[in-house]
Amino acid sequence: MTPERLAYDDLSTPSEMGTDALAVLTSLGWVPAPYRPREVAKRGEIEVPEAAARLARAIYG
């Protein structure tokens, strides 16, 4: 490949490149996992045990 030639066509849109990537994964037998957020928002308050609070105060107090 020469420096003037890019690995991907300049005129391809992100959607086209995504479609190409999905086709490659499918041809390799890989199934993309559905999107799942890594972190889930906590509901309510977090309870801190007294022992942990004492330790934190000793370290940072």
DSSP code at position 2: -
Residue with tokens 């993309």: 32
Q: Give the C-alpha distances (Å, rounded to integers) separating 28 from 15, 20, 33.
A: 20, 13, 14
The candidate with the shortest Cα–Cα distance to 18, out of 8, 3, 5, 6, is 8
**Structure tokens that stand for 3 in this block:** 């420096």
Question: Per-residue pLDDT tens for 20-47?
Answer: 888 898 899 887 777 777 787 777 888 8
* pTM assigned to the model: 0.38
